[in-house]
Structure 1
């Protein structure tokens, strides 16, 4: 899943493989825009901020991308070039960079792909709250807690997913941390210990980043990696109750949600919170 930990791992791989290399040939094209070329420039750094990827070039430009659910950065053999799109189909390669013997790096089906001056990166990431996996997280932890508390009337599920409060938490980590914390996903944020929940989520994601996995149960066997995510109607691994599910709604952070009705009961005095 393209969440904060997976984007940070991707940034590390691209940094290790391509940072410092000159661009021998390239193309950036979005829709009907004129192509922007990076040929002759050099990639200096690849960084992750939440779920956003920043590729910084020596010439003072940054290529900003967000994978969402479908985008990917792929490495192709040296000399590879994208095929012309078939008639009536859009070109799924939004940008590519030829790094010689290191191969060609290409953005496939990337929903967000922008070029901005490196000095103006805030134009594309300035709205984000503290990054839960960044080195400055301990210092910005109180800010993130205050942001979640300020969303007092929202379901805690939405408050976690709103990247303006804190960034890097995606659907998987949200539902899994709420299960481990024993919190009903639609509980109002005001009724949740935000500091305890964010600390738990941070520790889970750091462990996943370190181990290179998004498993939350500690069991890496196929079909055993998650407590509730993707497990609708299957028995809870703790109590055996069938896992509940709610489909994504119209809100920007109202994603597919799984939870255990027994391990994560709603507050008895808030029946309106039930989905």
Structure 2
């Protein structure tokens, strides 16, 4: 599932491309929304909240979308070929200058803008909120420490605690803080530092498609994420892989047993699943 910075960047690009434009084409191809036509509406803004996007219109409505595992928004110039099959398109929003196509968006809803909180009000503080303050940090810390009996790797992924962290940043935050993902949250030293680092990594990558946690740009610039079986960049120990969580909440975890001492399961031998 995309990280919060991926959704933030998508929202930023859509906002720059569509805001102020009147839709010449406003097709919603999602099964629940096919009867709606947004042509003639003016886009007043696009906002991201955690991993949720809201495209707002001048009639007081918003189009909500969530990427889930394989969704995305693409931007094109009129007449350009799409990079994904047309049958995967769930929304086509076109102005005179730009065409925004939402592909494989399983979760979509058209709702009054004033009711957006109905879909995101349960979330914890958004780590990429431009109005982030000490109050946001304090609330995230309160929610984080309240999960003291849960494993920190799972808590970092819980959007009700703080919104925006996905499996990549969960993995990298645990490595950089020197803690096993299976450490109980109550045993995590300096939980405020964990929250601050989570926000720092998201902010560092929010304005570019490349997600680096090592400070170097390029492909696979991570400390341990998706590097199972490779040597740790710090100590040379083999990176281990195991699954954390149950059922639909299970995710592949990567860790260095030397740099991240603490509780851990028996590592798996199978190839890790891709994001």
User: What is the TM-score with the length of structure 1 in the denominator?
Assistant: 0.88
Q: Would the alpha carbon gap of residues 248 and 92 (structure 1) be closer, same or farther in structure 2, given more than 3 Å must change?
A: farther
Asked if structure 2 preserves the Cα contact closer than 8 Å seen for 1:79 and 1:98, the reply is no
Q: Would the alpha carbon gap of residues 221 and 150 (structure 1) be closer, same or farther in structure 2, given more than 3 Å must change?
A: same
Residue 51 of structure 2 corresponds to which residue in structure 1? 51
**What's the RMSD between the two structures over aligned residues?**
2.2
Deviations 1:180-238 (A, max 9, x none): 00010011111113111111221222222256531011122444x10000000101011
Mapping 1:11-26, distance limit 5 Å: 11-26=11-26
Which portions of structure 1, spanning 4 or more consecutive aligned residues, are displaced by more than 4 angstroms? 79-82
Asked if structure 1 preserves the Cα contact closer than 8 Å seen for 2:242 and 2:265, the reply is no
Please, which moves more after superposition, 244-253 or 53-62?
Answer: 244-253
Residue 119 of structure 2 corresponds to which residue in structure 1? 124
Deviations 1:61-115 (A, max 9, x none): 1011111221111123426799xx99xxxx4211111212x13211111121111
Residue 195 of structure 2 corresponds to which residue in structure 1? 198
Residue 133 of structure 1 corresponds to which residue in structure 2? 128
Residue 96 of structure 1 corresponds to which residue in structure 2? 92
Structure 2, unpaired ranges of 5+: 267-275
Cα distance in 2, alignment partners of residues 178 and 121 from structure 1: 32
Cα distance in 2, alignment partners of residues 145 and 252 from structure 1: 26
SS state at 1:137 partner = coil
Instruction: Compute the displacement of 1:254 (Å).
Output: 2.9
Q: Is the aligned partner of 1:108 residue 2:103?
A: yes
Mapping 1:149-160, distance limit 5 Å: 149-160=145-156
Structure 1, unpaired ranges of 5+: 268-272
Please, which moves more after superposition, 5-14 or 26-35?
Answer: 26-35
Asked if structure 2 preserves the Cα contact closer than 8 Å seen for 1:28 and 1:95, the reply is yes
* Alignment match of 2:205 (pick from 204, 208, 213): 208
Q: Is the aligned partner of 1:244 residue 2:240?
A: yes
User: What is the TM-score with the length of structure 2 in the denominator?
Assistant: 0.88
Asked if structure 1 preserves the Cα contact closer than 8 Å seen for 2:67 and 2:107, the reply is yes
